[in-house]
Amino acid sequence: MGELLLGWKDKSEVYIPPIKKQGFTEDVILRNINLPEEENLIPDLEENADIDEDATVFAPFKVRCLILERVKTGKQIKVDSGEFTIGKQTENDYVIKDNPMISRKHARIYQRDCNFWLEDLNSLNHTFVNDKVISEPVKLIPGMKFRLSLDEEFKVIEIMEN
């Protein structure tokens, strides 16, 4: 047994700094996202009169906005990015630290074809729509409710142009 302790020091011989305040004071942490300024991607036809008729013209991308309500707290959440994750890790866009049933990265909401979609990220306690576990992305519509695990319910309040 003595050979297992070779190289180790007694704690009285080593300085161990005290642990300062741990954890977060808020129940939910929202990560701020800085979106780039909107650029005008449509060329001015007068300045570019020699543009070929078959040329591709890029129209500005309109960002849609989704408003969710966390039913437990009544807090409204604005989703206005292309991808929005929910979970208990601080790297998520919406952090739920007061519910142990929520996975580190539980679910994600993303935009595709001008719609918002909800996807489970292989969470331990699953994501539910209409009391059924989802195994593929589900299109979100106003009035719809979904749950993360058994007791974290969200309601889709509104989808609008940003």
Tell me the mean pLDDT in the region 91-101.
95
The size of the chain, in residues, is 162
Tell me the mean pLDDT in the region 122-149.
96
- How buried is 98 (Cβ within 10 angstroms: 0-12 exposed, 13-18 middle, 19+ buried)? middle
First to last CA, the chain: 67
Establish how many alpha carbons lie within 13 A of residue 148's alpha carbon, considering only the half-sphere containing its beta carbon: 31
pLDDT in tens, 16-35: 777 666 666 666 666 666 66
pLDDT of residue 157: 96
What is the spatial distance between Cα 61 and Cα 54, in angstroms, rounded to a whole number?
21
Region of poorest pLDDT, from 27-36, 62-71, 104-113, 137-146: 27-36
pLDDT of residue 63: 62
Tell me the mean pLDDT in the region 2-8.
69
- Is 87 part of a structural domain of the chain? yes
What is the spatial distance between Cα 31 and Cα 145, in angstroms, rounded to a whole number?
23
Region of poorest pLDDT, from 45-54, 97-106, 110-119, 129-138: 45-54
Q: At 100, which CATH number? A: 2.60.200.20
What's the pLDDT band for 10 if we cut at 50, 70, 90? confident
- Is 35 part of a structural domain of the chain? no
For residue 154, the cross-strand partners are: 70, 146
pLDDT of residue 113: 84
Work out the mean pLDDT of the chain and round it to a whole number: 82
* Structural domain that includes position 75: 64-161
- Is 6 part of a structural domain of the chain? no
Number of domains in the chain: 1
Q: What is the pTM of this model?
A: 0.62
